[in-house]
Amino acid sequence: MQPLALLLLGSGLAIAQVTPFPRPASPQVPAPSYKPEELGTMAGIVRHSVTGEPIRKANLVLMRTDPRANQNAPATTSTNAEGRFAMTGIEPGPYRLSVSKAGFVPSDYGRGPGAQGISLTLEKGQSMKDVELKLSPQAVVTGRITDDENDPVMHAQVALMRYRFMMGKKQLVPGGMAMTNDLGEYRIFGVPPGRYYVTADSQQRGYNFGVDRSAVRQPEESPASTYYPNATDAQSAALVNVPMGGTVQGIDIRMRKERAFRIAGKVSGGGEGRGGMVNLVRKDSLDLMAMNRNMSSWRGPSGEFEIKGVRPGSYFVRAHWFDGPNQQMTGSAAVEVTDRDVEGVPVMLAPGLEVSGSIRSEDGQAALVSGMSVMAEGRAGRFSPMGSGTGRVKDDGTFQIANLGPDQYDVRVMGLPSGYFIRGIRLAETDVRENGLNLSGGGSAAGMEIVLSGKAAQLEGTVADAKGNPLRSAAVVLRPKSGKAWELAAMQPVASDQNGKFRLQGLAPGEYHLIAFEGVESAEAMDPDFFKEYESKAETVKLAESAAETRAVKAVTVQPR
């Protein structure tokens, strides 16, 4: 599986928000069937957020959000000439309703543009009427990218960046991207309002498919990733305020040029005769766009590779060779680039490592459902130099994760059955959740045991505003008091629904902080630094096994920053 940053960088698409699809139900747990009279309907209108006028030809998608959602396709429809829509035959359950139209920012019900929406809960036979969604006009950011001699930089990747809490830590993630044309001009559209860093990164560097045989090598300079207006990092950059529906022009960046270096070496250990790919991954970056895209190839038995345009820093050189999905070899080497070229880097290929094990319930029986998957990803939220891997859980509860590289990993289980939590993950005497899975020595791991408990707790309740009225779209955070990294990584904030209600399920017993925020997105509420400011206002909740607790929460209002 490719790291998220590589997928984003390779796509060149503008991304306003990333909303994961709900997990499909297990094939061993048939979706409940409903009588025709138990199915519901939903109807409403889509309006312009500024003028209030109805919007015709808007596209709507209604998608289940609960873990046991069935495998039916999402319900879709569009608005008529009066901006109204209606859907029938809707099964009861929680949903997220999204709307989009060209010229507007895609939006979810109950939240502003670019923010993840709230849940709409449909009861059996309910006819939900007068559902109102609002579309905000898109913002556009334009500018021109030039080099240090004021010549246009073609095919530069320009991104709007903002901080979000992802993969266990605060990182800069893209909120929209575009490529420059032959004049160095770019246009990023579909942008939600907000404050962004703007960064430009030249793609003229780094795609090397040969070895330089020049008789005399010239010192190399490379356009550096540059933040608006002329900074090398976000800490020194200027924030650009993007108003709703506005066109922000003249965000021009004159890219810095830095002395660049080359990394050369040899791939060995197998697969050299057919060749493969080599690329760089920058270590420990908090910027998803900062993963170095320098790539090279090696061909023939020599195994030689060369990567140009590398700026000083700490990297992994990653080599990958494959012949079909089941025959892969990988290798990695750490490289420090200071003030000179790095020569003779050895990268030894080895067959991909495999992790195997089983999932069972704590009473000793096989896991009740299949359809789950087990994922190994870079330890502590960082990108593994060898990527990550996922294995599907079979009907007998066993799983295999293939083609992992020698590295340290966290292990996660996705698609847990309703009412279950993870009691523990062990490999021999190692607590994998606490200490991670260490494959740095190059050996595969067999016999991992994942134990589930069917005694998960649940917490539900209501959120009220300062006047005591039910508050929809509040960000509800249940944070483990232990502060352990693996527990925090499993945090999933929810938003109160249209009636101010919320529900959290599949909870491990323990002590938690419970707090609800008004005026912030769930992604911001997850940030430990943000939470620390309001920790004193959180309520302590103790959950026992199989507990079903109810709380009434008064939201903390957060003023815009």
- Listed in sequence order, the residues at least 6 apart from 427 whose beta carbon sits closer than 8 Å to its beta carbon are 357, 437, 445, 447, 448, 449
CATH number of 457-557: 2.60.40.10
Is the pLDDT confidence value at 386 over 60? no
pLDDT at residue 62 above 90? yes
Q: What is the CATH number of domain 36-137?
A: 2.60.40.10
240-247 average pLDDT score? 93
Supply the CATH classification number for the domain 165-186+195-350. 2.60.40.10
Give the list of residues 6+ apart from residue 245 with CB closer than 8 angstroms, or none.
50, 136, 137, 138, 139
- Residue 219 has a pLDDT of 63
**pLDDT, average across residues 306-330:** 79
Average pLDDT, integer, range 34-42? 92
Any idea what the Cα angle at residue 506 is, between residues 502 and 510, rounded to 5°? 95
Q: Give yes or no for a contact between 178 and 8, defined as CB atoms under 8 angstroms apart.
A: no
b/e burial code for range 417-440 (CB count within 10 A of at least 16 → b): bbbbbbeebebeeeebbeebbbbe
3-state secondary structure 134-184: EEEECEEEEEEEECCCCCECCCCEEEEEEEEEECCEEEEEEEEEEECCCCC
Interacting residues of 453 by C-beta distance below 8 A, sequence separation 6+ = 361, 362, 420, 421, 422, 423, 545
Domains 165-186+195-350 and 352-453 share a fold: yes
Distance, CA of 450 to CA of 464 (rounded, Å): 39
Sorted by sequence, the CB contacts under 8 Å of residue 500 that are 6+ apart come out as 462, 463, 464, 469, 470, 471, 472, 474
Q: What is the pLDDT of residue 54?
A: 97
Tokens of 246: 């506005």
Better-predicted residue by pLDDT, 48 or 472: 48
Q: Which residue bears the tokens 């928000």? A: 17
Task: Tell me the β-bridge partners of 361.
Answer: 452
For every residue of 180-192, which 3-state class applies, written as one string? CCCCCEEEEEEEC
Two structure tokens written together for 11 = 């796509």
DSSP label at 2?
Answer: -
Contact in structure between 198 and 178 (CB atoms under 8 Å): no
Burial 509-532 (b: 16+ CB within 10 A, else e): eeebbbbbbbebbbbbbbbeebbe
Structure tokens that stand for 29 in this block: 């747990």
Q: Domain spans of the chain?
A: 36-137, 165-186+195-350, 352-453, 457-557
- Torsion sign (Cα): 503, 507, 511, 516: negative
Nearest to 553 by CA among 532, 536, 538: 538
Tokens 């607790």 sit at which residue? 549
More confident residue, 509 or 312: 509
Q: What is the pLDDT of residues 460-489, one digit of tens each?
A: 999 999 899 999 888 898 989 887 777 776
| Cis omega (within 30 of 0) for bond into 193 | no
pLDDT single digits (tens) 263-306: 999 998 765 556 788 888 777 654 444 444 577 777 667 888 88
Q: Is the pTM of this model over 0.75?
A: no
Q: Three-state DSSP class for 310? A: strand
Distances from the Cα of 303 to the Cα of 56, 211, 271, 460, angstroms: 59, 11, 9, 59
Percent with pLDDT over 70 in the chain: 81
Most confident of 287-301, 346-360, 523-537: 346-360
Is it the case that residue 10 has pLDDT exceeding 60?
no
DSSP string of 322-388?
ESSTT-EEEEEEEEEESSS-EEEEEEE-EEPEEEEEEEEETTSSBPS----EEEEEEGGGPPPTT--
**pLDDT for 96-115, tens place per residue?**
899 999 999 998 887 767 66
CA angle 351, 355, 356 (to 5 degrees): 130
Provide the 3-class DSSP secondary structure of residue 86: strand
Closest by CA position to 376, among listed 285, 309, 439: 439
Q: Which fold has domain 352-453?
A: Immunoglobulin-like (2.60.40)
